[in-house]
């Protein structure tokens, strides 16, 4: 089975600062990767799919990149409303939609 890891597990950044979250797959998954944001007490929300395609309505400060085994989610200018846990999810196999363990983002 392909394992998904995320780093860091948590981070604090200043408002307006740049945030980068890394997601790694133990084997290549091409660009079959999505990113979700889950604010405290809320339902997960789709941010990005196909590694870099921004879901409609998601602010442009969010971006995704990568292919194969290494992927990144970047928040170009962190806002207070971005406090959340971020999950990557692979879907190269329709029968194994594994999520990463999550990265918690706070304001410094």
Partner 1 sequence: QVQLVQSGAEVKKPGSSVKVSCKASGGTFISYIISWVRQAPGQGLEWMGRIIPIVEETNYAQKFQGRVTITADKSTSTAYMELSSLRSEDTAVYYCARETEEMITTTMAHRYFDLWGRGTLVTVSS
Q: Name the β-bridge partners of 11.
A: 105
Least distance from partner 1 to the Cβ atom of residue 87, Å: 6
Output 32 or 62, the one with its CB closest to partner 1. Answer: 32
Output 17 or 104, the one with its CB closest to partner 1. Answer: 104
Task: Tell which residue, 32, 39, 60, 37, has the closest CA to residue 47.
Answer: 37
Residues that bind partner 1 (CB under 8 A): 32, 34, 36, 38, 43-46, 49-50, 53, 55, 87, 89, 91-92, 94-102
Plot region of 73 (φ>0 → left; ψ -120 to 50 → alpha; else → beta): beta
């Amino acid at each position: 089975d392909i394992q998904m890891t995320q780093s860091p597990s948590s981070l604090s950044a200043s408002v307006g600062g740049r945030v980068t979250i890394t997601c790694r797959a133990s084997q290549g998954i091409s660009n079959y990767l999505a990113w979700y944001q889950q604010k405290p007490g809320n339902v997960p929300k789709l941010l990005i799919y196909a590694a870099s395609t921004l879901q409609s309505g998601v602010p442009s400060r969010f971006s995704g990149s990568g292919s194969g085994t290494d992927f990144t989610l970047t928040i170009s200018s962190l806002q207070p409303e971005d406090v959340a846990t971020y999950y990557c999810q692979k879907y190269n196999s329709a029968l194994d939609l594994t999520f990463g363990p999550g990265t918690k983002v706070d304001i410094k």
